[in-house]
């Protein structure tokens, strides 16, 4: 029998205590911090709103990256040749069109836009995700078409601003056409103003010869068209007509926009009558005859007013009539001057005679002068009235009058009123006379003159008989 083995007892292992540390939750920390305030520590509790300026750009950048990876895209926008994966929330947030479509059917997986070009739609989607876009005169048409259709108003404004910034003589008509097509009112007004202000240069460009009759007709009818003279307008119109014989059927209609009444009789003979079309075409010839009659009957011009006698491109100016150019000068002037903001005083026309202390008034685009003195030299103290009424067409503006002279003794006052039938005497004591029949002795040195309800009134005088 084998001897028993002795069991060797293993030494007991030392047991060490282990402490597990559990981190306090964020909510517990918050409660602990709030406890400091509740304990009356005296900390200020005023709140402030902070803004991360980079949050918006970072958000757009993240969304754009998600679209490129086709991550979480939930809508397909299709054109005739191409489709685009996008996020509904992004497109609906910047486009009223998508907002309304998706509001009716939030689960719609696809929207087809067959009337929009892929280039225009791609540019719009890029703008929606980045706020940026690349434009040129070659792409502006497709982009603005998509922006208008999708009702992205900020993008439409950016396109309008781009058109106005890029406008030149070579492309101004193209800009005007785009603005007209897509109802860009601001860009259209800017294009029209640019054409008015640069019409001479535009008439020399190739684009001018491509105008339709309706387009050139609209330009020539404009009262604010900037031209050195109406002769230039006539020559430009004839240039367009003569470039294509098919256009000659529009000659009378187009030339009816020329203000022939504002062209001098001499220029009518030298530059208008010499054009064969003006003599061969009955309707065109009538325009010339009407203008010549207007100049042959100066005292009837107020009754012959029409669109063709209205001055084009007028401006508000200050006008002086006669007077003494300097207080030290004894001889009066016959000049009618106007104040140009850039060039100072410029000569507009002349009165038939020199005078000062006359009275002036403006009515229906004409300047009327009544009375006045003509003192030839210092030794001649005699005063006499000059002319009856001196009338000259002027641009609309203020008129500088002169101080009233004392009415000579032995005179009485009569009131005259200018109507469509001439200047008539309304005084019951004096027989009816027209302004053209009044003589120098009829007028006081400086009669008062005014307009009421479209009629011109002037106070004149008659010598008492005997």
Based on the structure, what is the number of domains in the chain?
A: 3
CATH number of the structural domain spanning residue 132 = 3.30.710.10
Question: Are residue 85 and residue 187 in the same domain, yes or no?
Answer: yes
Residues 263 and 172 in one domain: no
Verify that 303 and 340 share a domain, yes or no.
no
Distance between CA atoms of residues 77 and 111, nearest Å: 5
* Residue 398 belongs to some domain of the structure: yes
String of b and e for 345-364 (b: at least 16 CB within 10 Å)? eeebeebebbbbbbbbbbbe
User: Edge-to-edge, what's the strand order for the sheet holding 344-350?
Assistant: 344-350, 335-340, 317-321, 397-400
Query: Do 216 and 152 fall into the same domain?
Result: no
184 lies in the same domain as 298: no
Residue 121: give the domain boundaries. 60-197
* Residue 205 shares a structural domain with residue 151: no
Out of 162, 197, 232, pick the residue that ends a domain: 197
Domain boundary residue among 313, 342, 365? 313
pLDDT exceeds 80 at position 305? no
Token pair of 209 as six digits? 């010869």
pTM of this structure: 0.65
Checking DSSP bridges between strand 335-340 and strand 344-350, what pairing results, if any?
antiparallel
Higher-confidence residue of 262 and 282: namely 282
- Same domain as 253, residue 177: no
| Same-domain status, 439 and 459 | yes
Does 224 lie in the same domain as 207? yes
22 within domain boundaries: no
Which strand (E) or helix (H) includes residue 322? none
Residues 125 and 205 in one domain: no
- 84 and 214 both lie in a single domain: no
For residue 1, being part of any structural domain is answered with: no
Q: What is the pLDDT of residues 418-437, one digit of tens each?
A: 333 333 333 333 333 344 44
Q: Which of 169, 197, 225 is the last residue of a domain?
A: 197
Specify whether 344 is located in the same domain as 237.
no
Using CB atoms within 10 A of its CB, is residue 65 exposed (0-12), middle (13-18) or buried (19+)? Answer: exposed
* Residue pLDDT, tens place only, 114-169: 999 999 999 999 999 999 989 999 999 999 999 999 999 999 999 999 999 999 99
Give the CATH number, domain containing residue 291: 1.25.40.420
């Amino acid at each position: 029998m084998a001897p028993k083995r002795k069991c060797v007892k293993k030494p007991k292992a030392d047991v060490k205590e282990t402490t597990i540390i559990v981190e306090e939750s964020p909510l517990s920390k918050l409660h602990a911090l709030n406890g400091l305030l509740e304990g009356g520590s005296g900390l200020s509790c005023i709140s402030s709103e902070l803004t991360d300026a980079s949050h918006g750009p970072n958000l757009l950048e993240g969304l754009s990256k998600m679209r490129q990876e086709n991550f979480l895209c939930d809508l397909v926008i299709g054109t005739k040749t191409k489709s685009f994966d996008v996020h509904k929330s992004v497109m609906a947030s910047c486009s009223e069109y998508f907002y309304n479509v998706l509001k009716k059917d939030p689960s719609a997986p696809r929207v087809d836009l067959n009337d929009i070009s892929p280039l225009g739609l791609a540019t719009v989607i890029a703008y929606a995700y980045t706020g940026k876009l690349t434009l040129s005169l070659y792409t502006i048409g497709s982009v603005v078409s998509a922006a208008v259709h999708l009702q992205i108003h900020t993008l439409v404004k950016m396109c309008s601003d781009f058109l106005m910034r890029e406008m030149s003589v070579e492309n101004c008509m193209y800009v005007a056409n785009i603005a007209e097509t897509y109802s860009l009112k601001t860009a259209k007004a800017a294009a029209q103003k640019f054409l008015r202000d640069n019409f001479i240069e535009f008439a020399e460009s190739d684009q001018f010869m491509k105008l339709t009759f309706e387009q050139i007709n609209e330009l020539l009818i404009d009262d604010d068209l900037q031209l050195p003279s109406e002769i230039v307008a006539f020559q430009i119109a004839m240039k367009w007509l003569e470039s294509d014989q098919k256009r000659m059927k529009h000659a009378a209609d187009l030339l009816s926009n020329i203000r022939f009444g504002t062209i001098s009789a001499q220029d009518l003979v030298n530059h208008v009558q010499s054009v064969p079309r003006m003599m061969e075409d009955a309707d065109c010839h009538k325009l010339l005859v009407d203008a010549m009659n207007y100049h042959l009957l100066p005292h009837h011009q107020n009754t012959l007013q029409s669109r063709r006698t209205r001055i084009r491109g007028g401006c508000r100016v200050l006008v002086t009539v006669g007077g003494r150019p300097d207080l030290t000068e004894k001889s009066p002037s016959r000049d009618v001057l106007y104040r140009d903001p850039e060039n100072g005083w410029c000569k507009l026309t002349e009165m038939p005679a020199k005078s000062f202390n006359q009275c002036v008034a403006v009515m229906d685009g004409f300047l009327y002068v009544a009375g006045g003195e003509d003192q030839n030299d210092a030794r001649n103290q005699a005063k006499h009235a000059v002319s009856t009424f001196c009338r000259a067409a002027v641009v609309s503006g203020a008129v500088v009058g002169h101080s009233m002279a004392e009415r000579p003794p032995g005179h009485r006052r009569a009131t005259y009123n200018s109507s469509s039938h001439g200047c008539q005497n309304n005084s019951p004591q004096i027989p009816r006379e027209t302004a053209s029949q009044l003589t120098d002795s009829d007028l006081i040195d400086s009669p008062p003159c005014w307009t009421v309800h479209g009629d011109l009134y002037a106070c004149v005088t008659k010598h008492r008989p005997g």
